[in-house]
Amino acid sequence: MFDTSHLSTECESCGSFGRFINETVFTQFESFEESPPESLDWSQLDRTEKLLISEQVTRHDRSIEDFSVSA
């Protein structure tokens, strides 16, 4: 098991790249999707931003209060 945010790998058959996200990060992302953090305007973020925040909270022990959304 690797402690990474994601893995990118090349398919041996077709040569295309696939990206696989860390399960713990994805579980945190789903949790935020189901119950968005009150301190953050979750709906203003795109999927990449949401995944980056989920990764920081999960893998780097950051708090959701460390983040803010500006218009």
53 CB neighbour count, 10 Å cutoff: 23
- Among positive and negative, which fits the CA dihedral 64, 42, 6, 31? positive
Residue type, 13: S
The secondary structure element, H or E, covering residue 50 is: helix 47-59
- Dump pLDDT digits (tens) for 4-38: 555 566 666 776 766 667 788 888 999 999 999 99
Return the pLDDT at 35: 96
CA distances from 68 to 36, 38, 45, 49 (A): 13, 11, 10, 11
